Each structure stands twice: as C-alpha cells, then as structure tokens.
Amino acid sequence: MKEEIRVRTATRQDAEALLQIYAPYVKNTAITFEYDVPTVEEFAGRIDSVLTRYPYLIAEISGEPAGYAYAGPFSERAAYDWSVETTVYVREDMKRQGIGRTLYEALEEALAKQGILNLNAYIAYHDEEDRYLTKDSVRFHERMGYSLVGHSHKCGCKFGRWYDMVWMDKSIGEHVDNPPEVRALGDYCGYKDVGTSAVNQHHSRRLEEFEKMLSEVHRQYYDIEIKMEEMKAEGREKTSTYCQLMANKLRLGDMLAMYRLYDLL
C-alpha cells in the first residue's frame, strides 16, 4: 500500500533533517551551484528568512522528512512583488514517488492564496547529461506546467565543468491592471494524500509507465528548442534544416500536450 504524503509548514527545528536531504545535492551534484554544505544554524536562518514572506513546506512519509519546497523573491524591487522563485528538493532515495509533485502543488496553492501570479524556476542545465547533472529537473517542471523562457550559457562552474542555467516560468493567476497587494503569509495547515486506494495506486503506476515512455520525447523536444535558438541566432531560420526542426518540434509538442492532458486526469 502506498504511503501517505503529508505536507506541513517547516520550522527552524526542521533544519537538521532538511539539511540531510540537501547536503548530497551540494556534495554530489550540480543541481545546486553551492560548493559547501551550510551549517545547521545557517540553514535554520534560511528557513526563518523565507517564512517572513513566503511558504516553506516539508513533506513527510510515516513521520519521516521526504522533501521540501519553498518560494523566494524573484527580485526585491516592488514591481516584482507578484513573482517568486520556486525550489524543491526530494530525498535521494525517495524520488519518483510523487513527493515533488505533491510539494509543488501545495506550494502553488499557498502562493495563490497570497495573490502571487508568476512562478519562476532557475535550473542548472547541460546539453550532455553527466554523473553530476541530468535533465530530470527540466522535465519535472515541464510536467508541472512550466515553460522555457530563457537560457544562459556556461554561467556556473562546478566539479571543474561549466554548466548552463535555464529559466522556466508558470502563471497561476490573472494579470489585471492595478492588482491587489500580495497578502501576508498564512499558515499552511493542510496535507496531501497521494492515494492509498487501489484506484490511486493504479493511476500512479500508469503515470509512472507513461513518464518513462515519454522521457525520451521530452529530451528530444528540449534539444530541438536549443538547436533552433542557436540557428535563429545565426540567421538560419529559412534553411531546410530549420524547417525540419520546426516540424519535428510541432510533432513532439502534440505528443507532450497529450501527456499533460493525461497527467491531469
């Protein structure tokens, strides 16, 4: 039977447990560009800082921390008040159990109640996957409804190798003139049950199989986008190669649209 995922607001007392989730990403991956694992006190301070304005959520399974997600300012300028940067980390041995999705859905719900309209994610990226970085984060954000809006090249160096950053965003509200001010953070008291029933278990298995089948489609689609950006920068939009890439992108886009529809069922 699938374990229930519960989501609650994190506190500074969770710092040590959450740091144990984060530390392997610092030491073994380029997912974060941080070089040194912060101290527990420093990490607790980060939690406190986030909670002055935004949600900081922790997911638990059977009482054990399984992941966390939070929002931060997109920019400190007042005009950006309705935009945030989102972050999620899942315990390495508990991936692909719906924890990241559950956290992001809860985070989105809490931010929407505040009146936040734009979610932004900055993601480490490299054309060639290696032992330190895959494209899983980009694929995850695509599944969560984020779209690619920017790409910075060779902007971070870790483990002696240069990595890119991509910027993805998602709108969760209507953009009107003179929007109401963002509301103060309220306590997140709910929890998400990802399903202990046979129906939900069946759906989870089907979704997992579907994700595996279309992971290659995600990779091809993203690689085509990058190639088209490069050709456009070189003024090669009218070449037959560019047209073929466009046709392939449209075909793959249709497949991804079908996938997203399935994911919402």
Residue 203 confidence (pLDDT): 45
Whole-angstrom Cα distance, residue 145 to residue 260? Answer: 8
What mean pLDDT is predicted for residues 112-136?
Answer: 96
Place of tokens 């380029």: 30
What strand order describes the sheet that includes 5-9?
A: 5-9, 56-61, 64-73, 83-90, 118-125, 161-171, 147-158
Helix (H) or strand (E) holding 90: strand 83-90
**Rounded to 5°, angle at Cα 47 from 81 and 135:** 75
38 is written with which tokens?
A: 């912060």
pLDDT (0 to 100) of residue 210: 60
Token pair 């595996």 is found at: 212
* Domain boundary assignment for the chain: 5-196, 197-265
Tokens 């995850």 map to which residue?
140
Superfamily of domain 5-196: Gcn5-related N-acetyltransferase (GNAT) (3.40.630.30)
pLDDT, tens digit, 9 for 90 and up, residues 65-74? 999 999 999 9
Output the pLDDT for position 265. 36
| pLDDT mean over 230-249 | 82
Q: How confident is the model at residue 263 (pLDDT cuts 50, 70, 90)?
A: very low
Burial of 24 (0-12, 13-18, 19+ CB in 10 A): middle
Q: What is the pLDDT of residue 95?
A: 93
Contact 47, 56 (CB under 8 A): yes
pTM exceeds 0.85 for this model: no
Q: Indicate the DSSP class of residue 95.
A: -
DSSP sequence for 1-21: -PPPEEEEE--GGGHHHHHHH
